[in-house]
Amino acid sequence: MTRSQKQAASVAAGFIVFHAAALLVFHTGASAVAVAVAVVMYLIRGLGVTAGFHRYFAHKSFRTGRVMQFLLGFAGSLATQGGVLWWVSHHRDHHRYTESDRDMHSPRIFGLWHAHMGWMMSPKCFQTTGANVKDLHRYPEIKALQRHYVWIVLGQIVFFYALGSVLAAVWPALGTSGLQMLVWGYFLSTVLLWHSTFMVNSVCHRWGRAPYDAGDDSTNNWLVAILALGEGWHNNHHRFAGSARHGLHWWQFDLTWIVLRILEKLGLVSDLKVPRPAQIASA
């Protein structure tokens, strides 16, 4: 078995384990603190993917400093969707080869299941050279996030179990435990975020509206936009790939854009790129 085949098999096994672990919510029950942690981690890690991995690292749609850049990369890495360099490399290929046999998550070419998550269980997805992310190689801290990705995953398992155990011992009235916090704070939160993110590749290339001619099957889907923190305005994104704002109209809710605007006000990010009104109108 080749290395890429072993990696694909590991991903398949990981999907099974994570989904099975998420179902343990029916065994552990719920507590207010565990649910709150799950929601907070969904948002933090989700924004790490949408604002960090996607809009910053993949498309350079805004600027930031080295510390904030690292924090965005770290938050995205916490989402357990692959290391930053691997994720960005595949996404850049998605835009370069959209709806072709080199776009590994194209529903038109490979079908809905493969586009949603099957492609990550294919050895081919681990055979990328990463040649299209050499611009990120000059940052040793970003390369370290990729190199130590597995430890970031394992570290979260230890952290959430320890957090629940400490809270159970120090503040038993909260009604949580190590296992409950691990299941809600990590496994369930991760699986829900997975499918919200994956729907951008599958659902948003099959169902929705396409107000712009982007030369592909990308669509805007309001439900995915809510679940994926603004990423569901996918046709907008494919037409204006360099835009930091995906919900281009006031009624297109884009939580990631709202957060980026707040970060801009705080001086943590700058040069948020958006298409001019004339460009949107002409498109």
pLDDT in tens, 9-46: 999 999 999 999 999 999 999 999 999 999 999 999 99
**pLDDT band at residue 238 using 50, 70 and 90 as cut-offs:** very high
pLDDT in tens, 96-105: 999 988 888 8
Q: How far apart are CA 2 and CA 150, in angstroms?
A: 19
User: Residue 114 pLDDT > 90, yes or no?
Assistant: yes
User: Residue 128 pLDDT > 90, yes or no?
Assistant: no
271 by Cβ neighbours in 10 Å (0-12 / 13-18 / 19+) ranks as exposed
Could you give phi then psi for residue 182, rounded to 5 degrees? -65, -45
Q: Which residue has the tokens 């943590």?
A: 268
Domain ranges of the chain: 3-282
Q: What is the rounded average pLDDT of the residues 247-259? A: 97
Q: How far apart are CA 200 and CA 202, in angstroms?
A: 6
Please name every residue paired with 220 in a beta bridge, in sequence order, or none if there are none.
209, 233
| Residue 187 token pair | 């496994």
* Residues with Cβ within 8 Å of residue 283, at least 6 apart in sequence: 212, 213, 239, 240, 275
User: Residue 283 pLDDT > 90, yes or no?
Assistant: no
Q: What count of other Cβ atoms lies within 10 Å of the Cβ of residue 34?
A: 27
Report pTM: 0.96
189 by Cβ neighbours in 10 Å (0-12 / 13-18 / 19+) ranks as buried
Rg of the Cα atoms in the chain:
19
pLDDT at 278: 80
Mean pLDDT for the chain overall: 96
